[in-house]
A and B are shown apart, each in its own frame.
Chain A
Amino acid sequence: NAGVTQTPKFQVLKTGQSMTLQCAQDMNHNSMYWYRQDPGMGLRLIYYSASEGTTDKGEVPNGYNVSRLNKREFSLRLESAAPSQTSVYFCASSGRGQGYEQYFGPGTRLTVT
């Protein structure tokens, strides 16, 4: 039982390049999320998916797209990376626990130069 896995762990991009961050969970959770965390700040929601086949914008969606490929997988795509997207990205999932608590992956540290 791996929980939430993310790939890659680290990535360096040049401005204008594109990439996809991958996330998978094996807990049979319906909901999945993508967050970014900048230094000294909390987690800000980029996109979330309440169930397979649905996605919705969070607080900071500009410059990102997502795909909920199936119940297990939720990917985040940067079409044209910008230095402002340098951050640590976390994927999370939640089921119908008491408070819908979220389970997080280990994060992807992305640097855009």
Chain B
Amino acid sequence: DQQVKQNSPSLSVQEGRISILNCDYTNSMFDYFLWYKKYPAEGPTFLISISSIKDKNEDGRFTVFLNKSAKHLSLHIVPSQPGDSAVYFCAARFHAGKSTFGDGTTLTVKP
């Protein structure tokens, strides 16, 4: 049973607009949530994280929101740029650094 789900396989937005990527989880014991970005033929790279005791974390154009009651988190990218086009993975950490990953959302930012 998948504990982290990204229900939208793809998202397309116009350059300069907001991109919102969503993630749902089932396990209340997760203590950190992380977003990774992946370009083709490269390994994922860490983007931003949020502790389970917070509800928002911001880093430049990237903001992650956590709604614990709904077991839902989202990544907002504002403004979106063509270079943001990539696959975004949501991950949840539950033990000694181990994380479980969603299946990813492919973001396309159109110029």
Query: Which A residues fall within an 8 A CB radius of B?
Result: 4, 31, 33, 35, 40-45, 48, 50, 58-59, 90, 92, 94, 98-107
Q: How far is the CA of A106 from the CA of B93 in the complex (A)?
A: 22
**Size class of B's contact patch?**
20 to 34
Q: Is the CB of B97 within 8 A of A50?
A: yes
The binding surface of chain B is classed by DSSP as strand
Query: Which B residues fall within an 8 A CB radius of A?
Result: 4, 6, 9, 32-34, 36, 41-46, 49-51, 89, 93, 96-104
Q: Is the CB of B96 within 8 A of A42?
A: no
Q: How far is the CA of A35 from the CA of B36 in the complex (A)?
A: 14
Q: Is the CB of B97 within 8 A of A45?
A: no
Q: How far is the CA of A44 from the CA of B101 in the complex (A)?
A: 7
Q: How far is the CA of A103 from the CA of B44 in the complex (A)?
A: 8
Q: Tell me which residues across on chain B come within 8 A of A106, comparing CB atoms.
A: 41-43
